[in-house]
Chains A and B, each alone.
Chain A
């Protein structure tokens, strides 16, 4: 089974055509740590709103409109730690769909500002309750105003993982000419790892697919979920994965720094965690003298996490 790559995006009829079909980049400097194994990363920061979440947001909105669930006059509502919200905001603005986001109050300031720039309504949930608090608040609002809101529910919506089943998965297969041996990425909603892994397993049953999670409930890999202490996303199905890997915040943050210094890739901490996980896979293969083509995801760029300058600190909350 092969999936044809779309043509390079030299021209677009509208913004939605710029979503997906992202470059796959080889990490020549990082892969020196695992001789004989290739490390490759999907540059999801090249999506128009800057993160891997553009894929899910676009498919969720397109399918909801086609199915008549998201009707004129209704607002899309969802809980988000940021990137999905920005992606909804971008797609919503481009397609004329009003958006309401429920975010924990402590999401990074640039995310709030970017989402606001697209003209969305933001409702804040408690900074002490994390993303689970935002989920519960979004559900309460939908129960109170069912005629006003359509609840996109990225944690349960199959179009989240289907975006990767139809996009990321076949893209990786084509971009590696079917040579991919391992796919590893962190779990947020689990949409990326579920959809991509399902498709890669179909295209190449020998491909090992690995889900990465933070190793502790109290972690700093923003966007990633420690499932043993969280509301487990409905779309998460552990049986799809060949393995689960536990990542410390320090290892992920250090790798994010290395990516900037050594590869020129200034990416977020979740991307650092992903590449650290890919390097672990590569090192294990290299230790056994085995070759491999390991693919992971660069979720977004690091500038989305910058804190405000000191004299701007009143923007923090």
Chain B
């Protein structure tokens, strides 16, 4: 199972959980699985065209998926996926 780290503004979809365990072998697959356990979260991450929103950054380990294979980036069993928003305030 891979671990998805959830940022504060999205934890209302995960009952406050900071991490969610999911299965899937690509970023697209684990994010689809995330929607199953956290309904509603998908449209906060993706735009209407199904792309990751411009201001949302998804990391596999330490790497931004924009520098990898985007949604087709492979995910291994113990990978950590982070969804990182922009920063607010001052």
Residues of A within 8 A of B (CB): 53, 79-84, 104, 106-107, 127-133, 154-155, 188-189, 191, 214, 216-226, 229-230, 233, 249-250, 253, 269, 310, 313, 316-317
B57 within 8 A of A: yes
* CB pair A128 B8 closer than 8 Å: yes
Could you list 7 A-B pairs, sorted by A, with CB under 8 Å? A128-B5, A128-B6, A129-B8, A155-B90, A217-B12, A218-B7, A249-B54
* Structural contact, B56 and A229, CB atoms closer than 8 A: no
User: Are A131 and B6 interface neighbours, CB within 8 A?
Assistant: no
Known contacts A128-B8, A133-B8, A223 near B82 by CB under 8 Å? no
Closest to B64 in A: A316
Closest A-B pairs by Cβ, 7 of them: A220-B55, A217-B9, A225-B89, A189-B90, A81-B87, A218-B9, A222-B86
A53 CA / B90 CA spacing, docked (Å): 8
- In the complex, whether B74 has a CB less than 8 A from a CB of chain A is no
Query: Which of B68-90 touch A at CB < 8 Å?
Result: 82, 84-90
Q: How far is the CA of A189 from the CA of B88 in the complex (A)?
A: 9
Q: Give CA–CA (A132, B90) in the complex, Å.
A: 11
> A130 and B55 in contact (CB under 8 A), knowing A217-B9, A218-B10, A313-B67?
no
Closest to A305 in B: B86
- Chain A residues contacting B89 (CB-CB under 8 Å) are 81, 131, 155, 188-189, 223-225, 230, 233
Interface residue count on the B side (C-beta < 8 Å): 27
Residue in contact with B54 in the complex, picked from A104, A216, A223, A253, CB distance below 8 Å: A253
Q: What's the minimum C-beta distance from B10 to chain A, rounded to whole angstroms?
A: 6
Contacts across chains A and B counted by CB atoms under 8 Å: 107
Q: How far is the CA of A83 from the CA of B89 in the complex (A)?
A: 10
CA A250 – CA B87 in complex, angstroms?
A: 16
A164 to chain B: closest CB distance in Å? 13
In the complex, residue of chain A having the shortest beta-carbon distance to the beta carbon of B88: A225
Smallest CB-CB separation from B90: which chain A residue? Answer: A189
- Min CB distance, A160 to chain B, in Å? 8
| A219 and B90 alpha carbons, distance in the complex (Å) | 15
A253 engages B55 (CB within 8 Å) = yes
Alpha-carbon gap, A224 to B53, bound state (A)? 18
Enumerate chain A residues within 8 angstroms of B84, measured Cβ to Cβ: 106, 127-128
Q: Do A188 and B44 touch across chains, with their CB atoms under 8 A apart?
A: no
Q: How far is the CA of A160 from the CA of B19 in the complex (A)?
A: 36
Q: Bound state CA distance, A159 and B53, in angstroms?
A: 37
Are B88 and A230 in contact (CB-based, < 8 A)?
Answer: yes
Contact: B67 with A220, CB < 8 Å? no
Which residues on B sit within 8 Å (CB–CB) of A216?
Answer: 9, 44
Residue of B nearest to A133 (CB): B8
Query: A229 contacts B87, CB within 8 Å?
Result: no
CB-CB under 8 A from A131, the residues of chain B are: 87-90
Shortest distance in angstroms between B12's beta carbon and chain A's nearest beta carbon? 8
CB-CB under 8 A from A53, the residues of chain B are: 90
Chain B residue contacts of A217, Cβ below 8 A:
8-10, 12
Neighbouring B residues of A249 by C-beta, 8 Å: 53-55
For B86, the chain A residues whose CB sits under 8 A away are: 219-222, 269
Q: Are B87 and A132 in contact (CB under 8 A)?
A: no
Q: Are A130 and B56 in contact (CB under 8 A)?
A: no
